[in-house]
Structure formats: C-alpha cells, structure tokens
Amino acid sequence: MSEPLATLASMREALDAGAASSVDLVEGCLARARAAQDALHAFAGLREEGARAEAAAADARRASGARRSPLDGLPVAIKDNMVQTGEPTTCASRILEGFVSPYAATVVERLERAGAIPIGRTNMDEFAMGSSTEHSVYGAARNPWDRARTPGGSSGGSAAAVAAGLVPGALGSDTGGSIRQPASLSGVVGLKPTYGRVSRWGLVAFASSLDQIGVMAHTAADCAWLLEAIAGHDPRDSTSLPEPVPRYGETLDGDVSGLVLGLPREYFVEEGVDPEVLSTVRAAVSELERAGAKLREVSLPHTRYAVATYYLIATAEASSNLARYDGVRYGHRAAGVRDLTEMYHRTRSEGFGAEVKRRIVLGTYVLSAGYYDAYYRKAQQVRTLLRRDFEEAFRGCDAIATPTTPETAFRIGSKTADPLTMYLSDVYTVSANLAGIPGISVPCGFAQGLPVGLQLLGRVLDEATLLRIADAFQARTDHHARRPAEAP
C-alpha cells in the first residue's frame, strides 16, 4: 500500500523534526494544487504570493522559538464564501465577479493568528446551494476517487482538495450537509459544529438560521486542532455562543467504553439507501461496539419531514439574504441600463445561476402574502418537533450514529436535471442543521471502491464526544489512510 497522504499532524512532525520548512510545505501544496486543477477543479483561486510570504514568516518564528500554535506554518484552504482581506470572494457566482474583500472573516483572522496559512479559495456550489459542486462558475469539481463523479457539495472543492492531498485541512460551511455530505463522498472527515460555536462574521450568508462554518481534514485529531483555532464567541456575530472552547485535542484518548450510541430506526431502513452503504455503516457501528460503546435503538419520528422543512426554511432565508446583490456597491452590474429597476433585474438575472434563481423564486413565493403561514410558519413549527425528537433521543444516548448519505458519490450530471432528486441526497444531514446540533462524517469503508461515511450527531456543544468517537474509530481502522486514484 502506498504512503498515506500528509495530515496536519504529520506536517507538524516534519516541521518539528526539521525535515521540512513551512515554505517547503506551502510550495508543495501550491504545486500539487496547480497540477491537479484541470483534473479536479478543487480551487477557485490560489493565493501564491501571500502564502509564500507567510510561510517564510512562520519559518522565522519557528527558528526564533516564537511558534504561535500547533497550526503555525501549516497550509490550509478556505471555501470561497469566507472573506480574506485583499483577496477575491466569489461564492462561485458571476454576481461577485471582481469583488475583493476589504476585511477578513473571523475564522480567517483566527487561523492566521494561529499561524495557519491559507493557500487558496476552494470551489463550491454557487452561494453554497447544491450537493455536488456542479453549480459553479469555475466548472464542476471532481471526485479524486473517480473523476466522472462529484465530490459532493456544496463544500466539494474543500473535500476534493483534502481527499487528493492538495492541502491537509480546509474550512467549509454547512447549511444542510454541505460539509458532511462531501466529506462522506470524498473519504475525509468533516465536522459541522453546533450552530453558534463558530463565528459567521465574514461568511457570505445563505440561510442565517442554519449556516455554520466547520472543518475538513483526514483525521478527527486534525479537525480538533482546526476547530479549537476557529471556535469561540465573537462580538461581531450576535448568534455566536459565549461558552468557553474546550481543548478538543486533549479529549481524544481513544476510549469509547461506556458511551451509548443511539441508532435511529428511521435512518436504518432499507428504503432509499444503497444496501452496501447501509451494511458498511452497520459494520462501522459494530466496530465501535467492539471498542466498548453500547448500542441502543432510538427514534426520531419526524425524520421524514426534514427535507421538506429544510427546503422551505433555507429558500425563504436565502431569498432574503440574496436581496443584497443589486449591482450598487460591489460585484457584477449589468451594462447599458436605463433606470434603477432595470439595473436590479438585469444585474441579478445575469449574475445568478439557474439553481440560485430557482431557490430565490421558491423562497420568495413561500414568504409572499397569503402563503407565509402555510409554508414558512408551518416549517418552523415542524422544526420545533424535529428539535424535540433529538432532545428526547439524547436522554437515552450520548451520540447518534447514521449513514451520512444514502449513496456513494454519484455521477456528474446525473441529478442536475431534477432538483428534487438532488435535494434528497441531503436526507440524513439536514436534521442536524434544523436542530442546531453538531455532526461529523468519518470515513468508514468503501462500496464498489467509493468512500462511505459514518455520521455521528451529538448534543448541543458536545463536539468533543463526536471527535472522540471518530478518533477512536480511526485508531482502529485505516479507511482514512487510503489514497484515491487522483492523488498526485
């Protein structure tokens, strides 16, 4: 078996041992990212000069014994919906063409304060609306395990970049599964924290009551470092939570004995799921049982309503958030217009892609006069019931285990013609966003050569338990160490 891909931990060891400099690591990532770009479309843009200068500065800090954090000098990638000072942010949309950010997102500031080095912006579905990274002005991102297939989405560029070894860790955002689903399809770990655990200042808003920034890497241990660096209260995001940030890395002791894992019966039905995915996830759960976890069946009775609830709430909020793209202050503006109304219409029609327009129209419809109670308010009420399902289930277990996705990576183009089919690929992930709870996807095996993800859902602010279970699972398995076909 070939050498596993570099992780943040192995890169740090190389730095500590003097076997590599930060400049070496960053140059290596940039070279691999450039070489793989035509094949994978993982990046929206590389940040070559800035990254090189920061790597040199990190090497100087290390030489003088002034290392900022365990992440100092390590390369990372940032999804193209989080702003970086002086860099473009486009959300893979034509409407943000040419936009250069005058400020940095809190997560970017915090990574930089820790010494991590953003090497580029990763590809995504336009405005994070999609499950395949096909709806992008940069072209469809491709799965390193099979280029004919999607890496998932909307954080598909981050997932593909980590899976192919272009960069050891990346930030993504997750509104309905956009970190966990691509992590599952691409064979990496992806963590969506509790709503409010990570500041969203500087994240381009999609659906404000659901959006959350999270992390992607090869291992739970790497995710723990990244989360520790970006989490915590931020006065600039009034929804960020004031609770102190645990030292996530220190809780990873490989011990899951006595932990109770809930298996929701609604997620382990044969209907609508690839049988090989289901059997792979069941085998992973058995592995955790052998490691000492106790299994208990639980019930989440409103699960079948989650996708409908999600699409009503997400589109309604998106239609409101995306009203700001009007061609006045930044981004694309239609040429040759006669008046303001025409400028709005033409700018938005030229700037937004088909999926974004579809969701704006649906969201505007469900919020429009006469429909609000029947759709939006109804969905908010069902959301309450979905939350209560989890509260009830967590009375009897410490974490919930499910498949992350109903199938492995699907072929590019196979779902774009039918929006509803695409939306149903989020069936296992949307509930965590609706309930605000944390979720992680960890590689748990392969079905016909394609990665399968185990999803673990936790109580509010209990990311530590999810990371601990994922880490213990990885200590007993080597799925995460397998190299995909397209790793350079």
Instruction: Give yes or no for residue 204 binding another protein (CB under 8 A).
Output: no
Minimum CB distance to another protein smaller for 63 or for 103: 103
Indicate which residue of 93, 136, 155, 178 is catalytic. Answer: 178
DSSP 8-class letter at 5: P
Question: Which H/E stretch holds residue 401?
Answer: strand 399-403
Q: Is 199 a catalytic residue?
A: no
Map residue 266 onto helix, strand or coil: helix
- Out of 21, 131, 154, 155, the active site residue is 154
414 binds another protein (CB under 8 A): no
Name 116's Cβ contacts closer than 8 Å, sequence gap at least 6: 71, 72, 74, 75, 76, 229
Instruction: Work out whether 341 is an interface residue with another protein (CB under 8 A).
Output: yes
Measured at the CA of 175, the angle between CA 311 and CA 325, to 5 degrees, comes to 80
Rule CB under 8 A: is residue 419 a binding residue for another protein? yes
434 binds another protein (CB under 8 A): yes
Q: Number of residues in contact with another protein, rule: CB under 8 A?
A: 69
Rounded Cα gap, residues 105 and 178, in angstroms = 19
Tell whether residue 209 is a contact of another protein (CB under 8 A): yes
Q: Exactly one of 225, 248, 375, 394 binds another protein (CB under 8 A); which one? A: 375
Pick from 462, 441, 467, 8: nearest CA to 255:
467
CA angle 364, 368, 373 (to 5 degrees): 115
Active site residue 299: no
Q: How far apart are CA 172 and CA 188, in angstroms?
A: 12
> Whole-angstrom Cα distance, residue 481 to residue 176?
27
Q: Which two tokens stand for residue 381?
A: 């009420």
277 neighbors 452 (Cβ within 8 angstroms) = yes
Classified as helix, coil or strand, 217 is strand
Q: Is 379 in the site for another protein (CB under 8 A)?
A: yes
Residue 140 CB, nearest distance to another protein (Å)? Answer: 20
Retrieve residue 324's tokens: 């700001």
Shortest Å, Cβ 345 to another protein = 4
**What is the end-to-end Cα distance of the chain in Å, rounded?**
15
CB of 35 vs another protein, minimal distance in Å? 32
Q: From the candidates 79, 132, 192, 441, give the one annotated as an active-site residue.
A: 79
The DSSP line for 141-180 is --BTTBTTB---SSSHHHHHHHHTTS-SEEEEEESSSTTH
- Judged by CB under 8 A, which of 157, 331, 353, 438 binds another protein? 331
Phi then psi for residue 472, to 5 deg, are -65, -40
Residue 245 touching another protein (CB under 8 A): no
User: 324-351 burial string, b = 16+ CB within 10 Å, else e?
Assistant: ebbbeebbbbbeeeeeeeebbebbbeeb
Q: Tell whether residue 346 is a contact of another protein (CB under 8 A).
A: yes
Rule CB under 8 A: is residue 391 a binding residue for another protein? Answer: no
Return the SS3 of 298.
Answer: strand
Q: How far is the CB of 361 from another protein (least distance, A)?
A: 5
- For position 362 contacting another protein by CB under 8 A, the verdict is yes
Q: Which of residues 55-94 bind another protein (CB under 8 A)?
A: none
Q: Shortest distance, CB of residue 370 to another protein, whole angstroms?
A: 12
Among 31, 60, 63, 100, binds another protein (CB under 8 A): 100
* Site for another protein contains 206 (CB under 8 A): no
Q: Kindly tell me the burial class for residue 271, based on how many C-beta atoms sit within 10 Å of its own C-beta (0-12, 13-18, 19 or more).
A: exposed
Q: Is 2 a catalytic residue?
A: no
CB of 379 to another protein, least distance (A): 7
The verdict on 358 binding another protein (CB under 8 A) reads yes
Beta carbon of residue 354, minimum distance to another protein (angstroms, whole number): 8
C-alpha–C-alpha distance, residues 351 and 372, integer Å: 27
For another protein, which residue of 247, 265, 377, 411 counts as binding (CB under 8 A)? 377
Stretch of 1-9, 270-278, 292-300, 375-383 contacting another protein, by CB under 8 A: 375-383
- 330 contacts another protein (rule: CB under 8 A): yes
Nearer of residues 41 and 332 to another protein, judged by Cβ: 332
Judged by CB under 8 A, the residue of 400, 435, 444, 487 near another protein is 435
One character per residue 286-325, x = contact with another protein (rule: CB under 8 A): ----------------x-xx-xxx-xx------x---x--
Name, in order, each residue with C-beta under 8 angstroms of 391's C-beta and a sequence gap of 6 or more: none
Kindly list the residues in this chain that would bind another protein in the complex (CB under 8 A): 98-100, 102-103, 194-196, 209, 235, 238-239, 241, 302, 304-305, 307-309, 311-312, 319, 323, 326-333, 337-346, 348-349, 352, 357-358, 360-362, 364-365, 368, 375, 377-385, 387, 419-420, 434-436, 460
Q: Which residues are catalytic?
A: 79, 154, 178
